[in-house]
A and B are shown apart, each in its own frame.
Chain A
Amino acid sequence: MSLKSTLPTARHLIIAVPWFWLALFFLLPFLFVLKISLSEPVLAQPPYFDLIREIEDGFVTIVLNFSNYQLLLEDSLYFKALLGSLKIAGISTLCCLLIGYPMAYAIARSPAHWRLPLLMLIILPFWTSFLIRIYAWIGILKGNGLLNGVLLWLGIIDSPLEILHTPVAVYIGVVYNYLPFVVLPLYATLIRLDTTLLEAAADLGCRPWKQFMLITLPLSLPGVFAGAMLVFIPVMGEFVIPDLLGGPDTLMLGKLMWTEFFSNKDWPLASSLAALLLVALIVPFVLLRHFERRAEEAAT
């Protein structure tokens, strides 16, 4: 090995920056969480035993406690919560895509001078605090709220719909809040789409619907997956929306983690749940990378 290849170059440094970022803000905190997940709860400050205990000067002992993970695997409650989170994240992601794709498509196909105002309309709600927007939905959905008032006034329903504190309210809140995360990457993909491909297909007699299925949709898949991940991953750990809009039967990992951490003061079990959630999230992320690579290879 020559000396030259071992010296850091500018290129290495540029690559090192995001890795350093990841290590500092992702790997390091995760190792803390992992460490706590392998300890035992105790009524003290902090409320868990340190893994590494000094017996006598110089001699240390490391005690790993796997019982938290054992409890997570044995008690069906945690598996059900994982399924609950997967279900809410999955359905919300699907709804976001079904609503967000036509929106992104329409914006990308609209006249150039319309695109910026339309994008602004997508981004504008972010100028209001997330919490206030969720509280606004409580006002809209509640028993004697805005939506029921309008529907009753129009004579569409006779008695108020019970939406607040049901799973439907959670879906509405999640889809509303995460929709921009689908629209923006989809728009970015669709706007770069080479329209000459569509013209060529039209010249060869391909119908618009088939053009979309054969050309636009496959080429926009990276945007679809990017958008889907941006919704799916945060919704898996979502706590605020189900807590405010959901009912008592909304069982999600985020809420369970809250209970373990705050009510039970069981930081180790809460950390084990967090580690489990991370594993549940890495799988779809790896899938995304896989599809992205395939798309890149197809493009070259």
Chain B
Amino acid sequence: MNTLLKKFKHLLPALLLTGAAASSADELHVYNWSDYIAEDTLAGFEQQTGIKVIYDVYDANEIMEAKLLAGRSGYDLIFPTARPFAERHIKAGLYQPLDKSQLSGLDNLDPVLMNSLASIDAGNAHLIPYMWGSSGIGYNVTKVREILGDDMPTDTWRLLFDPEIVAKLADCGVTLMDDPTEVLVAANIYRGAAADDFSRDSIKAASATVSAVRPHVRYFHSSQYINDLANGDTCVAHGYSGDVLQARDRAAEADNGVEIAYVVPAEGALVWTDVMAIPADAPNPAAAHRFINYLLQPDVIAPITDYVAYANANLAATALVDAEIRNNPGIYPPAETRAKLLVTPTPSERQIRDLNRSWTRVKTGQ
């Protein structure tokens, strides 16, 4: 294959040249989640540094990971979820260590988050936390109350995994995320099993819990529920905190009478952290460092939190965040809620394949 590739290079030099020309010294290639930055963030950076930002977006970690694994992605900065993505990328040697002398705002970062990250990234050598949130339940307050009555607590996974309750809500629309780790771990928390048990028996039992409610689940999707909750097309969704709150805001904007709330289930829920990392083969790591440093400034990151409705990792920025967001327990949870949040456990590669294949069966009802 290598010799063939060499021949290709002679055959198609023009094609490869256009690829190479794309990365020059004053350009920064950023690959981030969609809708994950404020509207004026990039303009501010370009004005301050004169570096032109080429900004691409993805809507799933897997898409970004596939590009990274294929090699020579051409990106200088990426925003993976810490566990399991950044964790395994560090193990595979896909990131370069950060030059901390170029980063002045590190002291602002939440020490709790930094300690947690140090368990997958020794000495916090590669990863800088960006935003964090939880995955819980978003629901249509009026309709769920109407169906379940006023006495039924809503801060429980029973809304998604108790067949009796889900059957009642089915006509109104119940949705689960299309993510085996998120859903199967939530099912394990619901049935009182260890969240980080990825043995085949545990996966099987969690799959059975989900299969029992599957006939009443309208679909499995990790972002579709934002629109559907907001429009009143669905009633209960397993979703990310910020996404559910986005649905709530959209419904309020549309003034369609739909009232959405987000809860962290009392049984416990998963917390995730998205981080910034520089790929080992980044063409312009110096510019990537400058961009990280820019995002470490409290007055830069606070407006991003205002815009995306996720908590940032910057303690100095909290006071600058809009009071409505800062005081929202779904975004900045109080200490007792934060105590219920579990760090997303990481399955082994073998377990991931077990999880995913088991997941395909659950989803398709095989």
- Does A144 lie within 8 Å of B217, measured CB to CB? no
> Pick the contact of A35 from B1, B94, B363 — CB < 8 Å?
B1
Residues of A near B359 (CB, < 8 A) are 259
Residues of B near A266 (CB, < 8 A) are 353
- Does B88 lie within 8 Å of A43, measured CB to CB? yes
For the residues of A in contact with B, the DSSP-based class is loop
Residues of B near A262 (CB, < 8 A) are 60, 62-63, 65-66
Residue of A with least CB distance to B173: A143
- Does B66 lie within 8 Å of A77, measured CB to CB? no
- Does B366 lie within 8 Å of A77, measured CB to CB? yes
* Residue interface bits A44-63, CB-to-B below 8 A is 1, else 0: 11110010100000000000
Q: How far is the CA of A111 from the CA of B68 in the complex (A)?
A: 57
Q: Does B142 contact A (CB under 8 A)?
A: no
> Contacts A45-B94, A77-B357; is A265 near B231 (CB within 8 Å)?
no
Q: How many residues of B contact A (CB 8 A)?
A: 37
Q: Does B232 contact A (CB under 8 A)?
A: yes
Q: Does A210 contact B (CB under 8 A)?
A: no
Q: Does A2 contact B (CB under 8 A)?
A: no
> Contacts A35-B1, A262-B63, A264-B356; is A45 near B217 (CB within 8 Å)?
no
Q: Does A250 contact B (CB under 8 A)?
A: yes
Q: Does B218 contact A (CB under 8 A)?
A: yes
- Does B363 lie within 8 Å of A249, measured CB to CB? yes
A27 to chain B, nearest CB (A): 12
Residues of B near A43 (CB, < 8 A) are 88, 91-92, 349
Q: How many residues of A contact B (CB 8 A)?
A: 32
Q: Does B205 contact A (CB under 8 A)?
A: no
Residue of A with least CB distance to B231: A144
Q: Does A231 contact B (CB under 8 A)?
A: no
Residues of A near B68 (CB, < 8 A) are 45
Residue of B with least CB distance to A267: B69
Q: Does A90 contact B (CB under 8 A)?
A: no
> Pick the contact of B92 from A45, A52, A75, A142 — CB < 8 Å?
A45
Q: Does A247 contact B (CB under 8 A)?
A: yes
Q: How far is the CA of A105 from the CA of B356 in the complex (A)?
A: 48
Residues of A near B356 (CB, < 8 A) are 259-260, 263-264
Q: How far is the CA of A256 from the CA of B357 in the complex (A)?
A: 9
B84 to chain A, nearest CB (A): 11
B283 to chain A, nearest CB (A): 16
Q: Does B70 contact A (CB under 8 A)?
A: yes
Q: How far is the CA of A61 from the CA of B1 in the complex (A)?
A: 15
Residues of B near A143 (CB, < 8 A) are 173, 233
Residues of B near A144 (CB, < 8 A) are 231-233
A29 to chain B, nearest CB (A): 12
* Residue interface bits A147-166, CB-to-B below 8 A is 1, else 0: 00000000000000000010
Residue of A with least CB distance to B281: A45
Q: Does B307 contact A (CB under 8 A)?
A: no
Within 8 A of B (CB), among A130-148: 142-144
- Does B66 lie within 8 Å of A261, measured CB to CB? yes
> Contacts A43-B92, A144-B232, A249-B364; is A165 near B218 (CB within 8 Å)?
yes
- Does A80 lie within 8 Å of B366, measured CB to CB? yes
Q: Does B238 contact A (CB under 8 A)?
A: no
The 4 closest A-B pairs by CB, nearest first: A262-B62, A251-B364, A248-B363, A47-B69
